[in-house]
Structure 1
Amino acid sequence: MKKEIREEFWHAFEKSPFIMIRLDDASASGAGHAEPMTAQLDKEALHTIWFFASRSNRIATGGRAMGQFASKGHDVFACLAGTLVEETDPARIDKHWSKEVEAWFPNGRNDPDLMMLRFEIDDAEVWTVEPGLFGTFKMLTGSAIRSSEMGKHAVGLV
């Protein structure tokens, strides 16, 4: 079941690669508040995601971090824990560079304010929501619903 849920999560993340991410270190600038980031995904790296950011971004210092994801259809939710580190491989930056990224960094790949962060995921929880016809009927009628009737949950997907 874990493999099925993991695949469902990555498929949903690929369709809507936006995540709220925050640093765990309370002494870091802006820690405690998450912000939306656009994830750069790589199908061969299922425990890692990347972000383009400015050096003044509140997560730019890196460190332990937590990411929260909700799919576009609100049927997949995830909480990801890991470490943010600066990605220094120019090939990785080139691989993920796009017109969308360039819109945020008009000075291009060599902009001194540009950095890429790598989020190395070491723990995750994923929930899927699929109440089905019976679960939907119970919700509409106010009947009690067991969590097992609403979807699946997996811990430690990495």
Structure 2
Amino acid sequence: MADVAKLKKDLWSKLAASPFVMVGLMDSAEHHIPLTAQLDEDQVDTMFFFIGKDNRLAQGGKAMIHFAAKGHDYFACLDGTARIDNDFAQVEKLWSPQVQAWFPGGKDDPNLALLRIDLDSAELWETDMSLSGKLKMLFGGKVKGDEVGSHAVVETTAEG
């Protein structure tokens, strides 16, 4: 049985360690694009992305986010609603030297837009194979589902 609380906690810690995701609009035939998630611990079930106003995601709508952790031991597919939210206090809070590199005009760059995606649901996978599962794989044995990790579909990524 999946430890859903652990899966949710691990999602946010893995994203903080490697915030690179693929994002796309569900009503579009265009491919998803790589973006760096800006995480705000004060806003549960919300992800932010600095994009250009001319970015294909700026139109907003139903969105899908795909995440694979750095160690390829955790995967997530998240969906929600994307919209531009240029609240200056939020831009200020999330601003970093890395963002500055993409927007030379700074926080007042005329092309700067803060994309906000409010999450509706998520599917989470963690591949933390048990010791017995690793031994079985090593020696060609059959690995059972409960020996390979956890999986859950959740309506909120809030911990607890």
TM over 0.5: yes
Paired residues, what number?
Answer: 154
C-alpha displacement of 1:55? 1.2
Unpaired stretches in structure 2, ≥5 consecutive residues: none
Give the stretch that moved more between structures: 42-51 or 133-142.
133-142
- Identity over aligned pairs, percent: 44
Which amino acid is 1:96 matched to?
L
- Aligned residue for 1:40? 38
| Candidates 137, 140, 145, aligned match of 1:139 | 137
SS in 1 for 2:106: coil
Contact 1:2 1:157 in 2 (8 A): no
Unpaired stretches in structure 1, ≥5 consecutive residues: none
Which amino acid is 1:131 matched to?
M
- Aligned residue for 1:7? 9
1:120-139 maps to which residues of 2 (within 5 A)? Answer: 120-139=118-137
Separation in 2, partners of 1:32, 1:129: 30
C-alpha displacement of 1:32? 3.5
SS in 1 for 2:58: coil
- Aligned residue for 1:20? 22
Separation in 1, partners of 2:34, 2:108: 24
Alignment TM-score, normalising by the size of structure 1: 0.93
* Superposition misfits of 4+ residues, deviation over 3 angstroms: none
Q: Deviations over 1:81-116 (max 9, x none)?
A: 001110121100010111110000011111111100
Separation in 2, partners of 1:157, 1:42: 19
Separation in 1, partners of 2:124, 2:90: 27
Separation in 1, partners of 2:8, 2:142: 28
SS in 2 for 1:60: helix
Q: Deviations over 1:40-88 (max 9, x none)?
A: 0011222001000001212111110100001011111000000111012
Separation in 2, partners of 1:144, 1:59: 44
Q: 1:148 to 1:32 in 2, by over 3 A?
A: farther
